[in-house]
Structure 1
Amino acid sequence: MRADRLVAVLLLLQARGRVTAAELAEELEISVATARRDLEALSAAGIPVYPQQGRGGGWQLVGGARTDLTGLTAAEARALFLMLGPATTAAAPLTSALRKLMRALPATFRADAEAAARAVVSDSARWGEVGRELPELVEDLQGAVVGRRKVRLAYTGRGGRSTERLVDPLGLVDKDGVWYLLAGTDSGRRTFRVDRIAGAQMTDLPAEHPDDFDLSAEWERVVDEVEQRRSLVSAVVLIHDRHVPVLRDQFGRHCEVLGQDAGGRTRVRVAAPMALSIAEHLAGWGARIEVVEPEQVRAELARIGAELVARYAP
């Protein structure tokens, strides 16, 4: 039998005390006959696995063998699920593995492991920022999320003003190396950039954490709000079809193909916070791209072109 399946069988026996061959087959996605052979092989190998006959019977791991076969401490189990993140965002094999491992954990570990699995979402999409090293505060904030304790934050806003507030930490998001804390406040849910948190003190006060809170869904809502602010101005441009992928790399989700132009070029809509932002992105394309509308983007391009001519013309 495969070594990984042997360990899985032992973990399930340790967690449940007694299982039937049918239950084992369903959990490990193998046939009942294979499950029975695995159990018999364990018993023949000297591991104290014994069949129990009669109504409510099954196979049981007995005696001193019922120890923590996972080898994980509570802290290690929590760290593992913090690293893996929520099963809802994982690939199918990882989702299955997380489910089986969660069921195999000692009952006293499961609550923290489940909370840790919901405490972090990893978002690899970029917002044009360079990746950063893991902030020192992240580990402390993760502990506050899992432990459901209020945190007192010293936070510096965009304008440089420092404030202190008591928050209910709900989850952490890693977006391209930039960490964000989602938390409940007196003014509703807010998102805090961890690199702007000057200090965080976990208190003994229990944090409010809605039972129906979904970190992934909440982060999607935050992203939608940010992206709406990042697409206040749009422009329609004409470009050769082979250059569309490059343009999409520049503008990300704010690049929409509208169709083909009569002249054979592709009609594309791009967006950014300001007309100047669009013009700065497009200026390097030169004559390979034509801005159809709006006029303010065309005017910004003309201004940039005039500045370049004034500086670099012979």
Structure 2
Amino acid sequence: MRASRLLSLLLLLQTRGGMTARELAAELEVSVRTVYRDVESLSAAGVPVYADRGPDGGYRLVEGYRTRLTGLTAGEAESLFLSGMPGPASELGLGNVVAAAELKLMAALPPDLRSRAARIRERFHLDAPGWFREPDDVPHLHAIADAVWNQQRVEVLYRRWQRPQQVTRVLDPLGMVLKAGSWYLIARPSEVSEEAAGGAPRTYRVSRVLELRPRPERFERPAGFDLAAFWDDYAERFEADSYREQATVRLSPEGLRRSRFLLPPVMARAAATAGPPGEDGWTRVTMPVESQRHAHVEFLKFGADVEVLDPPELRAMMADTARALAARYLP
């Protein structure tokens, strides 16, 4: 355990350049006194670590010092190769870079870990997009990725759902997210943009960027911006905002079983957590829906294994469809 912690401390200093004892203690989840002891142990083992004093001080490694990748466990080495994303990396223009990095990592591993890592690629493959859908057309993905990396302001022609559908925006690109095969840009409308009220970051689907022009100026990232935290919060709000209405239905045993496959996750979770079935075996479920029109399409997938109870307008829509189907198919 202590050997693993010493290696983690060494790699933190190597990757971040310098950290205070308090920062190291927080990262390693130990006391500051433990950090002092660990630094002394590294120094005694010949690692050139020294302390800078003053308000900007902290522990640092001697300039140019690098440790070799000799501390990886079998699980850590395997996870590095399992987490590779050749498809998305290629889309970002990083395919050759990822391949070269993996080759260098493979060469640095001991023979036993090298063979285990190679077996990962032979037996596991990551395919991010969902079934039954064409991948997004993203001709500006590489340029957007460059702007994110270089903190370069961009001007885009963007297609949205509201009118006017095509709008021009000046954006400060902060990050990118790959969700179920679709790329999203997280960007802050710049101060020169008409929509820059508050300057809060927003989400843009990359496939809807019709034109992109890099601007000469760079921008400063907002202090403390956390891409993962922003996306988690956005996804939660997006789900809550999308499913604002409710519908109450009865599902047959077969309908309840198929709900996890036929319904969107938000609706399927409501079915999975419903109460016990009634005496006839059917289960009453109240679930969130996007709209009555959307729910009408979703419930038609069940055929006769669903009965809409409420709202009355949705029940009437289902009845109208049933009558039209009967008129179409019955003699």
* Bucket of the pairwise TM-score, normalised by the shorter protein: 0.5 to 0.7
Residue 282 of structure 1 pairs with residue 299 of structure 2: yes
Residue 182 of structure 1 pairs with residue 186 of structure 2: yes
- Computed over aligned residues only, the root mean square deviation of the Cα atoms, in angstroms, reads 4.2
Checking the alignment, whether the CA contact within 8 Å between 2:140 and 2:212 is kept in structure 1 is: yes
Pick the structure with more strand per residue.
Answer: 1
Matches within 5 A, 1:15-30: 15=14
- What is the aligned counterpart of 1:295 among 300, 304, 312? 312
Give the TM-score normalised by the residue count of structure 1.
0.58
The 2-side partners of 1:157 and 1:57 are apart by 61
Against the structure 1 CA distance between its residues 147 and 311, is the aligned structure 2 distance closer, same or farther, given a 3 Å change threshold?
A: same
Offset from partner CA, 1:12-61 (integer Å, 9 cap, x none): 6x959xxxxxxxxxx9xxxxxxxxxxxxxxxxxxxxxxxxxx99543369
Against the structure 1 CA distance between its residues 193 and 144, is the aligned structure 2 distance closer, same or farther, given a 3 Å change threshold?
A: same
The equivalent residue for 2:168 is 164
The equivalent residue for 1:42 is none
The equivalent residue for 2:247 is 235
Against the structure 1 CA distance between its residues 58 and 282, is the aligned structure 2 distance closer, same or farther, given a 3 Å change threshold?
A: same
- What is the aligned counterpart of 1:305 among 322, 325, 330? 322
Checking the alignment, whether the CA contact within 8 Å between 2:255 and 2:305 is kept in structure 1 is: no
Report SS of the residue matched to 1:152: strand
Structure 2: runs of 5+ lacking an equivalent: 16-27, 29-40, 49-63, 70-80, 89-104, 106-125, 190-195
1:67 is displaced (CA, Å) by 8.9
The equivalent residue for 2:149 is 146
The equivalent residue for 1:253 is 266
The equivalent residue for 1:111 is none
The percentage of counterpart residues that share the same residue type is 25
1:157 is displaced (CA, Å) by 2.1
The 1-side partners of 2:321 and 2:173 are apart by 46
Checking the alignment, whether the CA contact within 8 Å between 2:250 and 2:282 is kept in structure 1 is: yes
1:234 is displaced (CA, Å) by 1.6
The equivalent residue for 1:194 is 206
Residue 272 of structure 1 pairs with residue 284 of structure 2: no
Give the TM-score normalised by the residue count of structure 2.
0.55
Against the structure 1 CA distance between its residues 243 and 303, is the aligned structure 2 distance closer, same or farther, given a 3 Å change threshold?
A: closer
The 1-side partners of 2:151 and 2:68 are apart by 26
1:194 is displaced (CA, Å) by 1.0
Structure 1: runs of 5+ lacking an equivalent: 17-26, 28-53, 72-79, 86-100, 102-121
Task: Kindly tell me the number of residue pairs found equivalent between the two proteins.
Answer: 224
Checking the alignment, whether the CA contact within 8 Å between 2:135 and 2:181 is kept in structure 1 is: yes
Checking the alignment, whether the CA contact within 8 Å between 2:308 and 2:318 is kept in structure 1 is: no
